[in-house]
Chain A
Amino acid sequence: MPRLLLLAIIAAAALAAPFYFYSVTLMTIMCFVVFACSFNLLLGYTGLLCFGHAMFFGGAAYVTGYLLKTTSLSTELAVLAGGAAAGVLGALIGFLTMKRQGIQFAMITLAFSQFIYFVFLQAPFTGGEDGMQAIPRNALFGVVDITSNLTFYYVVLAITALCVFVYYRVVHSPYGEVLKAVRDNQPRVESLGLDPEKIKLVAFIISAAMAGIAGGMKATVYQFATLTDASWPISGEVILMTLLGGLGTLTGPVFGAAIIILLNDYLAGFGEWALVSQGVIFLVVIVFFRRGFVGELAAFKRYLARRSARHGTAAAPGAKTAEARG
C-alpha cells in the first residue's frame, strides 16, 4: 500500500511540476532519465559498459528530426521511429562486438560511436556542424496540437512514464533475472544451457532503442538536433548519471539524471567548471560511493534496520539476508 501511495504522490508532483518549474528543464531531465535507464539496463543489470551510448541518443535525434521535417508523421511515431532506428544500429554493433567483454567492449563501443559521429558530421541530412534546425512538433496522433511547451510537457511525461515502466518490467521479468545472472557469472549461465551472447545482444538492442527514444524526445523538446548529442562527452555524461544514481538500482537513473542536469544548468555560466565538476563527482563516486545515491541510501536504511533490530529483540535473522545483495 505505501508503495501505491508513493506512486500517487510522484504522479501528482509530476503533473503539477510544470506550473512551478521551467518546463524545458523538466523535459530535459526526463529525456536523460530515459537515457540513463537504458544505460543502467546495460551496465547495472548486464554488466556491459558501453562507452558510446551517445551514438544511439544522437542518431535517433537526427532520425526523428528528419522524419518530422520532411514528412507529416505524427510526433509520437517519429520518436518511436528514432528508437527503432537506434535499435537497428544497436543490433548491428552488438553483433560485431558482443564477443568482447568488459573494458575491451568499452573501447570498441567508444570507437564505434566516434565513427558514427564522423558519419553524421559529413552526411548531408544532418546539417553538419550547424545541426538540424527548426524541427516541428507535428500534431500528436495527427490531431492534437502540441506546439506549446506546457502541453508538450505532458507528452514527454507520458513517453517517459511508459519507458520507465518498460524498463521496470524488463528488470523484473525472468529475462531480467537471467541478465543479472550473466552479469554475475557468465560461465554458469552458459553451463545451464543458455546463450549469454544472445541474451546480452537482446539487452543491448533494448537499451539502444530506449536510448534512441530518449534522443528522439530531446530533438522534439529543443526542436533541433546537433552533433553534440552524438558526441562522446554525452556518452560519458550518461555513465556518470547512472553511476551517481546507483548502478543496478531501479530508481537510481532518475536521481542521477536530475542531479547532473540541474548541475549543468547551474554551472552553464561558469564555462569549464561543468567539465571539472563532472570529473570530480565521478572520482568521488568511484572512490567513496560506488553504490551511488540510491544504493547508499538503501544501505543506510538497512544499517538502521539492523541497528534497531539489535537494540529491540535479539538478532533478527532477516536482516542478514536482506543485506546479501548490494
Chain B
Amino acid sequence: MFEGITSQLLFGQVLLGLINGSFYAMLSMGLAIIFGLMNVVNFTHGAQYMLGAFVAWLLLNFLGLGYWPSLVIAPLVVAVFGMVMERFLLRPLQNLDHLYGLLATYAVALIVEGLVRYQYGSTGLPYDNPIPGGINLGFMFLPYYRLWVVVFSIVTCVATWMLIEHTKLGAYLRAANEKPQIVEAFGINVPKMMTLTYGFGVGLAALSGVLAAPIYQVSPSMGSSLMIVVFAVVVIGGMGSIVGAAVTGYMLGVVEGLTKVFYPEAASVVIFLFMIVSLYLRPAGLFASKESV
C-alpha cells in the first residue's frame, strides 16, 4: 500500500514534523508556564510569536542588525512589551473571573495583529536564511538551518525545564503557583514574580518567532492559526504541565509530519483528533497529575 513512499519523503516529513514540533514545544511551554502560575490563558501568545519575527525583521531592515543579535534582542523587546501588558492590564483583572484575563489577552492580540497588518499588509515579508546550505545524508538532504532550529529548541526546552525544576527561582515559582499567600508570607514578591514569569513566557514565544522567520515568511497572521494548534497541544499534554507541553509538542509535530506522508488529507486535523481521543481517554492530559482536572 505504501510502496510509493520513498525514504526521502518519509524522512523529509519527519524532519518537517520535528521542526513544527519545535515551535509547538516552545510555544506550548510558554503557555503552560503562564497558565500554571497566573491562571491566564494567554491568547496573545500567537501575536507575540509574530511580534518576535517582526521585530527581527525590523531590526534587520532599519538597524541592519542580523539574525544572531535579533535572536537575543527581539525576545527581550517583546518580553518588555509583555511585562508592561501584565502590569497594567492583566494585574488589575487578576482577582476577577479568569475569563476576563483571557478575553483581555485576546483583545490585545486583535489590536496587535490589526496594527501590524495595517502597517505591513497581509502578505509575508521574506527573511534571509542565516545558515544557508545543508548536508546530504544519503537518504535525504538536511538544510543546516532546520537542524539548528531543532537543536536550539531542544536546548531551550531543556534549559527552561532545568530552570523551573532545579533552581531556587523555579522552586519559588512552583511554590507561588500552589500557595501564593504562603510564599508571599516568606517575603517573596509574588506579583513581581508573575510579571517576570509572564515576560519569560512571552519571550519564549518571541524567540520561537525569530527562529521561525527564516523558515516561514514573516506575516501578521503567522501566529493566530499556530496558536490554536498549540492550545490543543497544551490540552493534550495536560494544562500547566511544562514537561508535558514540550514533549507533546515534539510528538505531535512528528505525528503531523507522518500523517502528511500516509494520509495527507488528515494532516491539518490530526492534532485535533488526537485531542478529542485524549480528552475521552485521559481527560486530565497525558502528563498531568490527577488534581488538575
Contact = CB atoms under 8 A, between A and B. Distances in A.
A272 B115 contact: yes
A282 interface: yes
Interface stretch (A17-25, A94-102, A208-216): A94-102
Interface stretch (A61-69, A74-82, A103-111, A151-159): A103-111
Interface stretch (A192-200, A217-225, A253-261, A283-291): A283-291
Interface stretch (A8-16, A115-123, A126-134, A163-171): A115-123
B91 to A, nearest CB: 12
B93 A111 contact: no
A43 B283 CA distance: 23
Interface stretch (B100-108, B145-153, B170-178): B100-108
A96 B225 CA distance: 23
Interface stretch (A29-37, A273-281, A301-309): A273-281
Interface string B250-284: 00000000000000010011001101100110010
A108 B114 CA distance: 25
Contacts of B97: 102
B210 interface: no
Contact of B235 (A104, A121, A278, A286): A104
A197 to B, nearest CB: 12
Contacts of B104: 282-283, 286-287
A122 B109 CA distance: 28
Nearest to B119: A272
Contacts of B103: 239, 243, 282, 286
Contacts of B115: 272, 276
Given A103-B39, A282-B103, A110 B228 contact: yes
A104 B111 contact: no
A206 interface: no
Interface string B22-55: 0000000000000000011100000000000000
Contact of A232 (B228, B234, B293): B228
A236 B268 contact: no
Contacts of B275: 108, 111, 115
A232 B99 CA distance: 17
Nearest to B116: A272
B102 A103 contact: yes
B113 interface: yes
B67 interface: no
Given A110-B228, A286-B93, A102 B272 contact: no
B84 to A, nearest CB: 14
A106 B110 contact: no
B231 A279 contact: no
B166 interface: no
Contacts of A114: 225, 228-229, 232, 272
A122 B118 CA distance: 30
Interface in B214-233: 224-225, 228-229, 231-232
B98 interface: yes
Contact of A276 (B102, B114, B239): B114
Given A122-B265, A236-B106, 6 more contacts: A106-B41, A106-B102, A111-B231, A232-B224, A283-B104, A287-B104
29 contacts: A96-B276, A96-B279, A99-B293, A103-B99, A107-B41, A110-B231, A111-B231, A111-B275, A114-B272, A118-B268, A121-B268, A122-B268, A232-B224, A232-B228, A273-B118, A275-B111, A275-B117, A276-B111, A276-B118, A279-B108, A279-B109, A280-B111, A282-B110, A283-B104, A283-B111, A286-B93, A286-B104, A286-B107, A290-B100
Interface of A: 43, 49, 96-97, 99-100, 102-104, 106-108, 110-112, 114-115, 118-119, 121-122, 232, 236, 239, 243, 271-276, 278-280, 282-283, 286-287, 290
Lowest 4 CB-CB distances: which A-B pairs, in order? A279-B110, A115-B272, A282-B107, A275-B114
